[in-house]
A = this chain, B = another copy of it.
Amino acid sequence: MKEKATSFDIAHRAGVSQSTVSRALNNSPLVSKETRDRIVEIARELNYQVDKNASNLRKQKSNTLALLLFEDPTTDDSLINPFFLSMLGSITRASASQGYDLLVSFQNMQSDWHAEYEDSNKADGIILLGYGDYSAYRSKLDQLEEQGTHFVRWGAQDKAHPGVNIGCDNYQGGFDVTNHLIGLGYTSFAFIGDNSEDAPEFRARYQGFADALDKQGLSGESQRQINAHSTEPSGYAAMKAMLNDATLPRAVVCASDLIAVGVYDALREANLRVPEDVAVVGYDNIPISGYTTPALTTVRQNTTKAGELLVDTLIKAINKEVVEDYLMPAELIVRRSCGAQ
């Protein structure tokens, strides 16, 4: 392993000062073409690369974005929610195309957010992503705000909440999918998914569900709701409980696709057919949803666009531009599980 070349090595070989090397390599117009060409050539020969730490230290910015993924503490360690995996992919792409590096880390809600502070020094801004306990989350956001850290958050809109939110209209998504079921003639419903302050996304989906029913005079139906977080086993357990305790709803609205897949399992076990006996719809449009039998009707959050929006907004904030919340429309994806076809 060779010694790493520095700008001084190049200056020496080129017979110029180190300042000139730096200028040439940064495409400063102050350098003559011949000098620049010579320097660039030598830099190539020496496999020279600017030391980012030195350069960033001097420039006081890092050209790096940090992505913090919050996991639901109840999630199995080996499994990342496919929706977030997809977001991770699109955010990675979006930052690359903007010329920013992306630092990725997982963050446990319980931890003391040590990592964030560290990241806040290595990155110009932070993207926050994750379901999870919102109340715990809140105080951390205040800390970030106080620190003057630039950040954007993916998730539910919240006026009282500091910082910028990019999110998908969960209320509308819940409303639309439920309305679609109503249009198909169903009259008995249940919602499976958390409905608490700690899970604002799921809660908004539930609100949309309830309001859609109310609007059609089916208000009594909106009461049927069972908590579940976004995993297949949790959905399975919730549906199982419903099969034991209640009269069977004809249509089940799930707060996520993963829950819906668990609901499929429970129904299959009970020898009930989807959608003939029970219609099921999900949320997220994870890849699996198109391949289940029957294919799952769901609500799509456009992750490609979401990633771009998060990255663009954060970069604007870093550049001191004014940024504001953005609510993406949710998109209903109709497949076989709701009995439409």
Contacts and interface: CB of A to CB of B under 8 A. Distances in A.
A92 B1 CA distance: 28
Interface in A114-130: 117-122
A250 interface: no
Contacts of A101: 103, 105, 118-119, 122
Contacts of A109: none
A137 interface: no
A103 B106 contact: no
A42 to B, nearest CB: 15
Contact of A287 (B53, B56, B105, B287): B287
Interface stretch (A16-24, A25-33, A77-85): A77-85
A62 to B, nearest CB: 7
A93 B122 contact: no
Contacts of A291: 261, 288, 291-293
A293 B101 CA distance: 40
Contacts of A2: 146-148
A222 interface: no
Contacts of A121: 49-53
A207 to B, nearest CB: 30
A278 interface: no
Copies of this protein in the complex: 2
A292 B292 CA distance: 6
Kindly state the interface size class of chain A when it binds its partner.
35 or more
A118 B148 contact: no
A64 B103 CA distance: 9
A246 interface: no
A233 to B, nearest CB: 14
A53 B57 contact: yes
Contact of A104 (B85, B104, B118): B104
Nearest to A116: B49
A89 B93 contact: no
A102 interface: yes
A244 interface: no
Nearest to A147: B47
A168 to B, nearest CB: 17
Contact of A53 (B53, B82, B119): B53
Contact of A57 (B1, B50, B57, B304): B57
A62 B17 CA distance: 28
A272 interface: no
A64 to B, nearest CB: 8
Contacts of A89: 80, 85, 88
Which 8 A-B pairs have CB atoms at the shortest separation, nearest pair first?
A1-B148, A53-B57, A293-B293, A53-B56, A49-B117, A80-B89, A52-B122, A52-B121
Interface of A: 1-2, 4, 47, 49-54, 56-57, 62, 64, 69, 77-78, 80, 82, 85-86, 88-89, 92-93, 96, 101-106, 117-122, 143, 146-148, 261, 287-288, 291-293, 304
Given A2-B148, A47-B147, A64-B122, 11 more contacts: A2-B147, A47-B146, A52-B118, A53-B54, A53-B121, A64-B103, A101-B119, A102-B104, A103-B104, A104-B104, A287-B288
